[in-house]
């Protein structure tokens, strides 16, 4: 498994800026900086619980929420309430699993109604077309089914007679009911069908639209549908379809051959299907799940042939041979960027004379906002943004990770519909004003900004990022963007969100998959309601055709758009088998056959383990602990939390190794003086006993690529493996098998900048794959907004001219930050208050005084210093292969930590890399220039000296990049050969090398 070392450093704050609330996983760890987990009010909030609520069974009326803004009222009797639930599972053609008890001399029946007319009375289930008796199977549920559906392992098995035509029944409303010896109905419920659908209808043939010289064919997998039509429209503005064609079914797949003239037109499916959320057969209108183009309003699918030469930029077919070379995944460094943040906004002001009564001539100012294609901003070779990316590429960044760029909800694709604020007005407001966020919040659901974690259709580029959202413009411009980035030395990673979908039900305009095969694509709980642990509408990759859709979509982006990598949002909610199959499928792509070298495509994601999938609750999932040996990367939250303190979801003043823990207290109560003294103690017991004592060892394991079997010396002076170092939650710190898997109030702005430098250097110089958020290198602040997924351009601005880091542009949006707004009370104000109130008053970060204080605002020289430092550490990383070791064995043999054991110097980490010598037995030689490297991270506010007998009598020199650095402080670093003593300035990372 590959480990990504990552840190989203936040200037002037010890917390991450892009975080939102998310439950900790079962291991006690908190996930990485999350995006958009508190959804947009106009979209996510309305639909957050769109599946059927868990309703009390005694209520005579049900309000069924099915993605429509208006709930559907269904009057029912108490017995009928049972059909609102789907607590039985048709798992194979011959077995239904259910946890119902059948009393002695009782009976159990399966009911089906093609018209969805089932109703339950005390003595019968009425309205059925079929009634089939079921017998309990004492053999229980087969083991292969339990492996797929472990959450129903203890259910009873009821055998379905072999004569039953299951393929026809799945198109009906279904229910099972038990009856007592007295003939009365004791229990009834609906059925969940994914198991039997997978057994009967798993399909590997063509899906979507396919183009030949003479025709266009459509294929749609919809085994529960009763009828399917395709409505074909001449253009986006056509009100009525020019043609409505009936598709024919063959074993669950509906298809039709149409005219070649369809190419360039639009279509939508009309699917007649029983929907469990409404208990009715509904006529649903849906896009093609395999859509490759869309109308501007996303309500129609575009017939677009991605193989057409007219959609390929010049030189597109040769791009695979022109891509930047990656010898090993260990050579990767990733830069995460939101397409919207990388933009050019042109505002044209013009003045119009207006004649008003009394012949007074007035001048009115109009602003016209011109929104060029977001993709095209990557083509502007001499723009400040592109020049900045070139600097990063030249220093060592290899991949640009783009936040979701597929079709997502929350941003209108038609730019003319966007609302904007007058930035000239906002710029005149005080830095701690409440007004900026008020104006931004007022339009935040109608502007053009959102991070994009609201998936609608995975396989289509986002329309709002194209210059023209209709037609094939999005395809051409996305390809040009990939090509442009490749040509400046950067590969492209696409952020994919397969763990959930924005819409569900038969009526939601953003619902697609749940309209076509209701109850299949979205994961449901044991009552039949959609799981929402990822935010909304969790998908179920354990189902065959969901897994297939994910893999097909990845192959679409890799093959048709030549994307170089994929980052999986909440990857732990996807099954491990899906991830492994996806990786294998991508790896099989070749330049000769597909125009893509699949072996060079890198896959990584968030391996958090929580919700219904925790502890393999829905099968073996793609969590950190399960991915070892797959060479699929997962984010390293351990090193991040140890550096910054706590977690992104803990208190913002909680300090860590880089943010002044023990050495520069910020007033936050970390457990009292005794606890802090315990940190400094060199004779304390187990690492887990104290959070502060654990920090350096968390860091060391993380810096050694989070390898499970890496051996280091703990605080007791004992040698332990990475898996034996425990976190605060009691779980192992290390989980990887492969190196590529995985602030105080009073200090000055100069000191804060140095903390930022230090944090960046820890990530850049660790083993594993470093991951940086855009703006880390420019002191990006977002005015202390802790979750800016929907905070608009104003709070998210990136200034590639380096004049501003966007600090002090107003109090951040109220919804997530208001409790941190008020002025901090002086210490004298605590006297006379209760102890509990004292704690409460000291616990919260106070944003307003920091924003208002001009001494907190970094100037251009600070930003330039941060950029130069970032470029320096990147160049140092790529100056030696010893920073990018390719195997776990190489790390164990060559990487050592020296400031360990009971006598460790607080606030200092000393790491060394040893190389072999050509022709000398022992280690092989990897580096032609350096035989030994020592890296010292000094997080303390004072100069430190560190001596080690192991490092004595060597010929270390300060790394030439640091010796030539614009940072005058690091140049004061020194090494004394006779004593083996290193001297490192305050808050500095120094790298020493021994030349061959």
Q: What is the pLDDT of residues 135-145, one digit of tens each?
A: 999 999 999 99
Asked if residue 461 lies in contact with residue 556, where contact means CB atoms within 8 angstroms, the answer is no
Residue 283 lies in a domain: yes
The pair of structure tokens assigned to 469 is 């959202």
Looking at the structure of the chain, the number of domains it has is: 4
The band of 907, judged by pLDDT with boundaries at 50, 70 and 90, is confident
Compute the distance between CA of residue 974 and CA of residue 985 in angstroms, rounded to an integer. Answer: 9
CATH code where residue 415 lies: 3.20.20.80
Maximum mean pLDDT: which of 110-119, 658-667, 825-834, 902-911: 110-119
Mean pLDDT of 27-48: 34
Number of other CB atoms surrounding residue 230 within 10 Å:
23
Output the pLDDT for position 748.
87
Task: Based on the fold, state whether residues 577 and 623 are members of the same structural domain.
Answer: yes
298 and 394 assigned to the same domain: no
56-60, 615-619, 889-893, 951-955 — which is least confidently predicted? 56-60
Task: Give the residue from 167, 200, 233 where a domain finishes.
Answer: 200
Sign of the dihedral defined by the CA atoms of residues 686, 690, 691, 692, in that order = negative
Question: 419 and 283 in one domain?
Answer: no
Give the phi and the psi of residue 129 in degrees, each rounded to 5.
Answer: -95, -25
Asked whether residue 664 falls in the same domain as residue 678, the answer is yes
Mention every residue, 6+ apart, whose C-beta is less than 8 A from residue 856.
Answer: 12, 749, 752, 807, 808, 850
Pure H helices in 165-274:
166-169, 194-201
Q: What is the CATH number of the domain that holds 137?
A: 2.60.40.1130
Is the per-residue pLDDT at 95 higher than 60?
Answer: yes
The pLDDT value recorded for residue 733 is 43
Average pLDDT in the 279-295 region? 98
Give helix 749-764 / helix 637-644 axis angle, nearest 10°. Answer: 160
213 shares a domain with 153:
no
**Does 449 share its domain with 411?**
yes
Is residue 786 domain-resident? no
d(C-alpha 805, C-alpha 11), whole Å: 9
The verdict on 651 and 676 lying in the same domain is: yes
Catalytic residue status for 606: yes
Q: DSSP letter string over 795-844?
A: HH---TTSS----SSSSPPHHHHGGG-SPPPPGGGGTTS-HHHHHHHHHS
230 versus 941: the higher-pLDDT residue is 230
Identify any residues that bridge with 273 across adjacent strands, giving them in sequence order.
Answer: 225, 282
Q: Is the pLDDT confidence value at 492 over 80? A: yes
Confidence of residue 821 (pLDDT cuts 50, 70, 90): confident
| 653 and 755 assigned to the same domain | yes
Q: 429 with 321: CB under 8 angstroms?
A: no
What is residue 784's predicted lDDT score, i.e. its pLDDT? 87
Tokens at 582, concatenated: 């996806």
CATH of residue 233's domain is 2.60.40.10
Q: What is the pLDDT of residue 786?
A: 83
* Number of helical (H) and strand (E) elements in the chain, helices listed first: 24, 42
Residue 46, in any domain of the structure: no
Are 428 and 526 in a shared domain?
A: yes
Choose from 627-641, 721-735, 889-903 the range with maximum mean pLDDT: 889-903
Judge whether 751 lies within some domain.
yes
Among residues 146, 175, 200, the one where a domain terminates is 200
pLDDT at 368: 41
Q: What is the dihedral of CA 287, 290, 296, 299, to 10 degrees?
A: 0
Q: List Cβ<8 Å contacts ≥24 apart for 72-81.
A: 72/278, 74/278, 74/279, 77/119, 77/120, 77/121, 79/120, 79/121, 79/122, 79/185, 79/188, 80/119, 80/120, 81/55, 81/57
DSSP state of 340: G
**Residue 449: other Cβ atoms inside 10 A:** 25
Q: What CA–CA distance (Å, rounded) separates 238 from 865? A: 56
Quick count: other Cβ atoms within 10 Å of Cβ 156?
20
H or E element that contains 679: helix 673-680
CA distance 940 to 430: 34
Q: Give whichever of 216-220, 774-778, 916-920 has the largest mean pLDDT.
A: 216-220
Angle at CA 521, nearest 5°, toward 516 and 527? 110
**Residue 18 tokens, joined:** 């892009």
pLDDT value of position 392: 98
| Minimum mean pLDDT range among 148-162, 187-201, 828-842 | 828-842
- From CA 445, how far away is CA 42, in angstroms rounded? 7
Distance CA 643, CA 637 (A): 10
Q: How do residues 40-54 score in pLDDT, each as one tens digit?
A: 333 333 232 222 222
The predicted model gives 76-99 an average pLDDT of 85
Higher-pLDDT residue of 345, 297: 297
Rounded distance between C-alpha atoms, residue 722 and residue 3, angstroms = 14
Which residue is associated with the tokens 């004298």? 828
Q: For residue 879, is it within any domain?
A: no
| 366 assigned to some structural domain | yes
For the cut 90, the answer to whether the pLDDT of residue 365 exceeds it is no
Contact 493, 398 (CB under 8 A): no
Q: What's the rounded mean pLDDT across residues 76-83?
A: 63
Residue 150 has pLDDT above 90, yes or no: yes
pLDDT digits (tens, 9 = 90+) for 852-887: 989 889 999 999 999 999 999 999 999 999 999 998
Q: Is residue 893 annotated as part of the catalytic site, yes or no? A: no
412 located within any domain: yes
Q: Which of 466, 464, 470 is nearest to 451 (CA)?
A: 464
> Active-site residue among 124, 606, 609, 785?
606
Query: Smallest Cα–Cα separation from 140: which of 84, 181, 99, 194?
Result: 99
Residues with Cβ within 8 Å of residue 565, at least 6 apart in sequence: 399, 401, 491, 492, 493, 494, 601, 602, 603, 604
- With 0-12 / 13-18 / 19 or more C-beta atoms within 10 angstroms meaning exposed / middle / buried, residue 70 is exposed
Quick one: CA torsion of 371, 373, 375, 380, rounded to 10 degrees?
A: -80
- In three-state secondary structure terms, 621 is strand
Do 333 and 400 lie in a common domain?
A: yes
Nearest one of 583, 554, 530, 755 to 54, comparing CA atoms: 530
Report which of residues 648 and 756 the model is more confident about: 756
The secondary element (H helix, E strand) that includes residue 147 is helix 143-148
634, 650, 667 - which closes a domain: 634
Domain hosting 475: range is 323-342+360-378+385-634
Beta strands at 602-605 and 346-356: parallel, antiparallel or unpaired: unpaired
Distance, CA of 586 to CA of 562 (rounded, Å): 11
pLDDT at 652: 61
Judged by average pLDDT, the poorest of 56-65, 211-220, 311-320, 884-893 is 56-65
pLDDT digits (tens, 9 = 90+) for 603-641: 999 999 999 999 999 999 999 899 988 989 888 776 666
Q: How far apart are CA 93 and CA 158, in angstroms?
A: 11
Give the closest residue to 378 by CA, choosing from 411, 408, 337: 337
Q: What are the tens digits of pLDDT across the range 246-276?
A: 999 999 999 999 999 999 999 999 999 999 9
Cβ(3)–Cβ(708) below 8 Å = no
Q: How far apart are the first and last CA of the chain?
A: 33
Is 541 a member of any domain? yes
Q: How far is CA 211 from CA 243, 256, 415, 470, 833, in A?
A: 18, 12, 31, 20, 76
Distance of alpha carbon 697 from alpha carbon 642, whole angstroms:
9
Q: What pLDDT score does 747 carry?
A: 78
Do residues 572 and 32 lie in contact, with contact meaning Cβ atoms separated by under 8 Å? no
Beta bridge partners of residue 537, listed in sequence order:
none
The pLDDT value recorded for residue 232 is: 98
> Rounded mean pLDDT of the chain?
82
> Catalytic pick from 569, 597, 787, 793?
569
Collapsing DSSP to helix, strand or coil, 289 comes out as: coil
* Secondary structure letter of residue 335 according to DSSP: E
| One domain for residues 183 and 211 | no
Q: Answer whether 444's CB lies under 8 Å from 814's CB.
A: no
* Distances, alpha carbon 268 to alpha carbons 244, 258, 408, 426, in Å: 10, 14, 18, 43
Q: For 457, list phi and psi in degrees, rounded to 5.
A: -135, 120
Could you tell me the CA-to-CA distances from 800 to 106, 253, 343, 428, 864 in Å, in that order?
75, 51, 10, 22, 11
Contacts of 463 (CB under 8 A, 6+ apart): 294, 296, 298, 407, 413, 469, 470, 474
**272 and 245, same domain (yes or no):** yes
Q: Tell me how far apart the alpha carbons of residues 532 and 522 are, in angstroms, rounded to a whole number.
A: 10
Q: Which of 727, 784, 741 is nearest to 633 (CA)?
A: 741
CA-to-CA dists, residue 466 to 295, 374, 413, 837, angstroms:
12, 6, 8, 53
Distances (CA, A) of 969 to 100, 744, 908, 933, 959: 73, 21, 17, 20, 14
């Amino acid at each position: 498994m590959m480990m990504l070392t990552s840190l989203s450093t936040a200037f002037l704050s010890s917390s991450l800026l892009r975080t939102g609330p998310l439950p900790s996983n079962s291991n006690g760890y908190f996930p990485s900086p999350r995006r958009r987990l508190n959804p947009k009010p106009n979209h996510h909030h309305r639909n957050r619980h769109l599946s059927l609520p868990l309703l009390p069974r005694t209520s005579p009326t049900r309000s069924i929420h099915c993605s429509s803004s208006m709930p559907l009222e269904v009057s029912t009797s108490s017995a009928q309430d049972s059909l609102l639930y789907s607590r039985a599972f048709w798992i194979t053609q011959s077995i239904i699993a259910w946890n119902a008890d059948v009393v002695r001399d009782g009976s159990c029946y399966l009911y089906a109604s093609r018209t969805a007319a089932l109703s339950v009375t005390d003595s019968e289930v009425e309205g059925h077309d079929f009634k089939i008796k079921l017998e309990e199977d004492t053999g229980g549920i087969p083991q292969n089914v339990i492996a797929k559906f472990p959450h129903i392992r203890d259910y009873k098995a009821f055998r379905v007679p072999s004569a039953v035509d299951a393929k026809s029944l799945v198109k009906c409303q279904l229910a099972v009911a038990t009856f007592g010896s007295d003939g009365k109905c004791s229990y009834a419920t609906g059925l969940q069908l994914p198991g039997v659908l997978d057994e009967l209808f798993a399909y590997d043939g063509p899906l979507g639209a396919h183009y030949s010289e003479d025709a266009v064919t459509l294929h749609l997998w919809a085994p529960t549908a009763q009828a399917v039509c395709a409505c074909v429209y001449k253009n986006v503005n056509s009100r009525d379809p020019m043609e409505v064609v009936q598709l024919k079914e063959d074993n669950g797949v509906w298809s039709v051959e149409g005219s070649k003239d369809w190419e360039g037109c639009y279509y939508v499916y009309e699917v007649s299907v029983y929907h469990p959320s409404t208990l009715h057969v509904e006529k649903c209108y849906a896009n093609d799940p395999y859509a490759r183009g869309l109308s501007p309003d996303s309500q129609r699918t575009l017939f677009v042939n991605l193989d057409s030469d007219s959609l390929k930029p010049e030189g597109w077919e040769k791009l695979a041979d022109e891509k930047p070379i990656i010898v090993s995944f260990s050579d990767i460094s990733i830069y995460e960027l939101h397409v919207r943040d990388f933009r050019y906004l042109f505002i044209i002001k013009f003045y119009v004379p207006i004649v008003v009564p009394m012949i007074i001539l007035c001048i009115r100012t109009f602003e016209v906002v011109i929104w060029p294609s977001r993709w095209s901003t990557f083509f502007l070779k001499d723009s400040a943004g592109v020049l900045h990316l070139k600097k990063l590429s030249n220093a060592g960044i290899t991949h640009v990770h783009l936040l979701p760029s597929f079709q997502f909800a929350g941003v209108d694709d038609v730019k003319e519909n966007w609302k904007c604020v007058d930035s000239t007005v906002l710029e005149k407001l005080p830095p701690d004003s409440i007004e900026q966020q008020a104006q931004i919040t007022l339009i935040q659901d109608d502007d053009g900004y959102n991070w994009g974690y609201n998936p609608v259709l995975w396989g289509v580029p986002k329309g709002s990022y194209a210059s023209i959202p209709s037609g094939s413009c999005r395809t051409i411009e996305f390809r040009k963007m990939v090509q442009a980035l490749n040509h400046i030395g950067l590969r492209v990673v696409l952020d994919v969100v397969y763990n959930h979908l924005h819409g569900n039900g038969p009526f939601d305009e953003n619902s697609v998959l749940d309209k076509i095969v209701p109850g299949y694509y979205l994961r449901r709980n044991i009552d039949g309601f959609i799981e929402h642990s990822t935010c909304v509408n969790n998908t179920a990759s354990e189902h065959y055709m969901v897994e297939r859709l994910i893999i097909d979509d990845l192959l679409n982006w890799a093959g048709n758009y030549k994307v170089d990598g994929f980052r999986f949002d909440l990857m732990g909610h996807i099954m491990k088998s899906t991830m492994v199959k996806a990786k294998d499928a991508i790896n099989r792509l070749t330049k000769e056959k597909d125009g893509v070298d699949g072996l060079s495509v890198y896959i990584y994601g968030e391996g958090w383990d929580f919700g219904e999938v925790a502890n393999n609750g829905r099968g073996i999932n793609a969590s950190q602990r399960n991915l070892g040996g797959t060479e699929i990367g997962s984010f390293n939250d351990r090193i991040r939390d140890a550096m910054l303190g706590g977690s992104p979801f803990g208190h913002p003043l909680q300090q860590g190794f880089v943010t002044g823990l023990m050495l520069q207290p910020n007033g936050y109560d970390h457990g009292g003086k005794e606890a802090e003294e315990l940190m400094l103690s060199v004779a304390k017991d187990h690492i887990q006993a104290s959070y502060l004592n654990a920090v350096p060892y968390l860091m060391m394991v993380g810096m050694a690529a989070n390898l499970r079997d890496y051996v280091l010396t703990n605080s007791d002076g004992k040698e332990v493996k990475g898996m034996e170092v425990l976190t605060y939650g009691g779980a192992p710190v290390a989980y990887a098998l492969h190196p590529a898997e995985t602030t105080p109030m009073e200090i000055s702005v100069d000191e804060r900048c140095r903390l930022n430098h230090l944090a960046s250097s820890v990530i850049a110089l660790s083993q594993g794959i470093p991951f940086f958020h855009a703006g880390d290198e420019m002191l990006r602040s977002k005015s202390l907004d802790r979750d800016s997924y929907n905070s608009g351009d104003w709070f998210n601005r990136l200034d590639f001219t380096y004049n501003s880091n966007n600090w002090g542009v107003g109090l951040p949006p109220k919804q997530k930050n208001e409790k941190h707004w008020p002025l901090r009370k002086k210490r004298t104000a605590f006297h006379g208050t209760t102890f509990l109130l004292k704690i409460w008053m000291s616990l919260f970060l106070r944003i307003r005084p920091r924003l208002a204080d001009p001494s907190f605002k970094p100037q251009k020289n600070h930003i330039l210093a941060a950029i130069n430092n970032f470029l320096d550490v990147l160049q140092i990383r790529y100056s030696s292969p010893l920073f990018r070791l390719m195997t776990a064995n190489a790390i164990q043999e060559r990487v050592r930590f020296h400031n360990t054991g009971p006598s460790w110097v607080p606030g200092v980490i000393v790491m060394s890399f040893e190389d072999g010598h050509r022709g000398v037995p022992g280690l092989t030689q990897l580096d032609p220039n350096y035989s030994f490297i020592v890296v010292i991270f000094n997080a303390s506010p004072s100069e430190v000296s560190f001596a080690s007998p192991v490092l004595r009598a060597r010929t270390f020199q300060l790394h030439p990049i640091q010796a030539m650095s614009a940072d005058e402080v690091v140049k004061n670093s020194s090494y004394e050969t006779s004593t083996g003593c290193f001297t490192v300035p305050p808050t500095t990372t120094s790298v020493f090398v021994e030349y061959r």
